[in-house]
Amino acid sequence: MTIKLPKNQKIVFEAASPTEEKTFEQLSEETKLKLEHISGASFALEAQGLISITTLSDSKSSLTDEGSHYLQHSLPELRLYQAVRLMGELETAFNLSQAIDQSSLNKNEVSVALSNYARKDYGTINQGKIISSRDFDPKSDPEQVALTAIDQGTELDQSIVTRLESRGLINTNQLTTRSVILTKKGISERKKGVKISESVTNLTPQMLSQGNWEGIEYTTYNVEAEAAPYIGGRVHILRDTAERVKDTLVSMGFQEMEGPHADSEFWINDCLFMPQDHPARTHWDQFALSVPPAQNLPPEIVEKVQSSHLDGIGTYGDGYHSPWSEDVALGIDLRGHTTSLSMRYLSGQAIGHLEPPQRFFSVEKVYRNDTLDPTHLLEFFQIEGWVMAENLSVRDLMGTFTEFYRRFGITNLKFKPHYNPYTEPSFELFGEHPRTGELIEIGNSGLFRDEVLRPLGVNCDVMAWGLALERLLMLMYGFEDIRDVHGTLCDLNLLRSTEVPY
Ligand code: PHE
For the stretch 33-67, pLDDT in tens is: 999 899 989 999 999 999 999 999 888 889 999 99
pLDDT score for 283: 62
Looking at residue 279, its amino acid is P
Looking at ligand 1, which residue's alpha carbon is closest to its atom 5?
Answer: 466
Q: Is the beta carbon of 383 within 6 A of some atom in ligand 1? A: no
Looking at ligand 1, which residue's alpha carbon is closest to its atom 8?
Answer: 445
Indicate the top mutation candidate among 334, 339, 343 to test ligand 1's pocket, ranked by most ligand atoms within 8 A of CB.
339
| Distances, alpha carbon 259 to alpha carbons 270, 271, 438, in Å | 17, 15, 35
Cβ-based neighbours of 129, under 8 Å, separated by 6 or more: 93, 94, 95, 96
Q: CA angle, 39 as apex, 38 and 44 as ends, to 5°?
A: 100
Q: Are 190 and 13 within 8 A, CB to CB?
A: yes
DSSP label at residue 294: P
Helix (H, G, I), strand (E, B) or coil at 415: strand
β-bridge partners, 58: 175
For residue 425, say if its preceding peptide bond is cis, omega within 30 degrees of 0. yes
Backbone angles phi, psi at 163, to 5 degrees: -60, -45
pLDDT score for 424: 95
β-bridge partners, 63: 170
The Cα 441–Cα 414 span in angstroms is: 9
Looking at ligand 1, which residue's alpha carbon is closest to its atom 3?
Answer: 466
Q: At how many degrees (to 10) do helices 96-103 and 107-117 cross?
A: 120
Q: Which atom of ligand 1 is nearest to the CA of 443?
A: 12
Looking at residue 171, its amino acid is N
pLDDT score for 94: 94
Backbone angles phi, psi at 38, to 5 degrees: -60, -45
In this prediction the pTM is 0.64
Q: Is the beta carbon of 443 within 6 A of some atom in ligand 1? A: no
Q: What is the pLDDT of residues 363-400, one digit of tens each?
A: 999 999 888 888 888 899 999 999 999 999 999 999 99
Cα 369 to ligand 1 centre (Å): 17
Beta strand pairing status for 3-5 and 194-196? parallel
Q: Is the beta carbon of 444 within 6 A of some atom in ligand 1? A: yes
pLDDT score for 222: 73
pLDDT score for 502: 65
Backbone angles phi, psi at 69, to 5 degrees: -60, -45
Cα 383 to ligand 1 centre (Å): 10
Q: Split the chain (502 residues) into runs of 10 and give each run's mean pLDDT.
A: 88 96 96 93 93 91 94 95 94 94 92 90 92 92 94 88 91 90 96 86 89 83 74 90 96 97 97 89 82 94 96 90 92 96 98 97 94 84 98 96 95 95 96 92 97 97 97 91 85 85 68
β-bridge partners, 177: 56
The Cα 273–Cα 446 span in angstroms is: 14
Looking at ligand 1, which residue's alpha carbon is closest to its atom 9?
Answer: 465
CA dihedral 3, 177, 27, 186 (to 10 degrees): -20
The Cα 418–Cα 444 span in angstroms is: 8
Q: Which atom of ligand 1 is nearest to the CA of 466?
A: 5
